[in-house]
Structures are given as C-alpha cells and as structure tokens.
Amino acid sequence: MLQLPDKPFPFFLNDLRKNTILIFATSSFVTLFLTLYIPFENTQNTLAVNIRWGIFCFLALYVNLILIPKLFPAVFELSRWTLPKYVLFNGWLLLSMGLLFTVINSLLYCGDMNAWPLFIKTQREVVLTGLLPLIVVTMLARNNMLRQNIADASETNSKLHEIQTIKAGPKPSDNATTIQTDTNERFSLNLTDLVYILAKDNYSEIYWNENGNISRKLLRVTLKHVEAQLTNQFIVRCHRSYLINVQSIESISGNTNGYKLQMKNADVEIPVSRAKGKEIIAHIQQIRDLLDLRQ
C-alpha cells in the first residue's frame, strides 16, 4: 500500500519545466494505455482518437497543475498543504477531467446517451485510467522531495561542522536578555546559552545550557510574546510550537516531511515547518559567514 507522509505534499512539482514534462508523460501514458490495453468498450478505438484523448488530457492537466496554482498561489502554498487538501485536490482533478470528457463524449462520440449515464461511464473510465499514473507520480514526487531534503541536510551539516571547528572570538549573539511574563515575573539569561523554547498553551518552557547540562523553566507567557521580546537574528521560529537558537543546532536531518533539528546537549528532535526550512538553512550559512569574517 502506498504510504503518504504525515503532511502530504502536492503531487505536482513546483517547477514549470518539470510540471510540463509530468503532464506530457501522463498524457502519453493515457494514449498508450487506451491504444494497447483497450480497457473500455469503445468503437472509436483508433490511434488518432486516442491521441486526441491524450491531447484533451494534456489540456485538463495543464489547467489544473499550472494555471490554477498560478491564479491561487496561496491555496497551493506547500507549508499549508494538509491531508484533506491533498485528497480534495486529487478528487477535484479526477472530477474535473470526468466532467470535461463527458462533454467531449457527448459532442463527438456518444450523443445518443443521456447525460447522467454518460457521466457515470466517463467518470469510471477516468478513474480507472488515471489511478496508476496518480500513484506513480505521487511516489516520484515523494522520492524527489526526500532526495532534495537529504541533500540540503547533508550540506547544512557540513556547515555546522565547520562552525564547530572554527575557533572564533566572541559569539555573534553573546548578550544577555530578560523575558517579561504575563505575571510580571522577569527571567534573564544569556542568549548564547539558549537552546530552544517550547510552547505549552499559554506557557512557554525555556531550555538553556548551564554548566554543560540542560536547564528548563516554565514561564506564564505565550510563545508569540516571547518571540516579540527576543529580537535577535539567531533566535527564530522554526515551528508553531518552537523557538530555537540557530547557534545551538548540532545537526539537521531531512525526510519527505521536511527537516528535524538535533540540538546540542538536548535529547530531542525539533521539527521544522516547511515554510521555515530554507530560513533555518540560510541562518546557518549566515553564522558560517560571520565566523569567516571574525578570523
């Protein structure tokens, strides 16, 4: 059985050239499938007719995978993609093609059939024909994201290793700060020692290095309020539930869902939302560049 990741990705690729190749390959498959396998009762099963169906398939996919995402980019933002949206979009893709092909069948091939039986027949054929390429494309896109995320993580880990081996002067974020809570409690720490902050409803749990060990403290203040107070370039929100100190990242790993961070001296893997993945990698490169300037 095909296993989808916890937060599925759009099976289309965010690249115009690759999308066009994908659409062409799928349309060619449809033409070959109809010609070689002859799966449906069709008296018009000739190569010319099947090529025409391939062209119709190309146009329908082009509208759904290229034009619609361009018109509604926010809807197709990768960081906002969810399992219901993945299922809904695939259902819409098959339904829209079924509706289009029903109209074409009615005009060109099956004008004597009533609309509803013709739609049911056409929709069944669309689903049966499109199921295999849908599964194949989903698996290819999943593997493509996996390879890309692993490559990014590997390159970033090399940067982290370089950062750890460079002997530099004072650290760029070596300064103290004070967090004001909702109960007027004040908590002070050195940002260099901060590891991460975890949201717990209306509370935030602070984790920091203290004499080689991880200490923690629960404060009555939202993570959003803490983030507003920590105006430091290396303290970033990597996830809706986490603020991290980029300088405290020990390693980064990648999979189809994105990235996970292993923090120094902390027995925890912190997830990175898709929207923040590139930002975290850019911050690590920024630290590396700053250390170069200090040498």
Q: Which residue has the higher pLDDT, 295 or 289?
A: 289
Helix (H) or strand (E) holding 236: strand 235-239
Does 143 share its domain with 262?
A: no
Does 288 share its domain with 180?
A: yes
Task: Report the C-alpha gap between 212 and 51 in whole angstroms.
Answer: 68
Mean pLDDT to the nearest integer, 26-30 = 90
pLDDT of 6: 40
Query: Is 10 contained in some domain?
Result: no
Does 138 share its domain with 56?
A: yes
Does 148 share its domain with 174?
A: no
pLDDT band, very low/low/confident/very high, at 294 (cuts 50, 70, 90): low
pLDDT in tens, 57-106: 999 999 988 888 888 887 777 666 677 787 888 899 999 999 999 999 88
Query: Is 162 contained in some domain?
Result: no
Helix (H) or strand (E) holding 140: helix 115-165
pLDDT of 78: 66
pLDDT of 3: 36
Choosing from 91, 122, 152, the residue where a domain stops is 152
Query: Is 235 contained in some domain?
Result: yes
Mean pLDDT of the chain: 82
pLDDT of 119: 92
Q: Is the pLDDT of residue 5 over 50?
A: no
Please list, residue by residue across 243-258, b when 16 or more beta carbons sit within 10 angstroms of its beta carbon and e when fewer do. Answer: bbbbbbbeebbbebbb
Query: Is 85 contained in some domain?
Result: yes
User: Is 247 within 8 Å of 229 (Cβ atoms)?
Assistant: no
- The tally of domains found in the chain comes to 2
Query: Is 53 contained in some domain?
Result: yes
pLDDT of 7: 46
Choosing from 152, 180, 204, the residue where a domain stops is 152
Does 236 share its domain with 117?
A: no
Q: Is the pLDDT of residue 146 over 50?
A: yes
Query: Is 136 contained in some domain?
Result: yes
Burial (0-12, 13-18, 19+ Cβ within 10 Å), 170:
exposed
Q: Which residue has the higher pLDDT, 260 or 148?
A: 260
CA angle 266/269/271 to nearest 5° reads 135
Does 147 share its domain with 190?
A: no
CA angle 12/15/17 to nearest 5° reads 105
Mean pLDDT to the nearest integer, 113-119 = 90
Query: Is 55 contained in some domain?
Result: yes
Does 29 share its domain with 124?
A: yes
Does 20 share its domain with 146?
A: yes
Does 49 share its domain with 142?
A: yes
pLDDT band, very low/low/confident/very high, at 44 (cuts 50, 70, 90): low
Which residues form the domain of 74?
Answer: 16-152
Choosing from 119, 152, 185, the residue where a domain stops is 152
Query: Is 159 contained in some domain?
Result: no
- Range with the lowest mean pLDDT among 40-49, 100-109, 130-139, 181-190? 40-49
Does 269 share its domain with 230?
A: yes
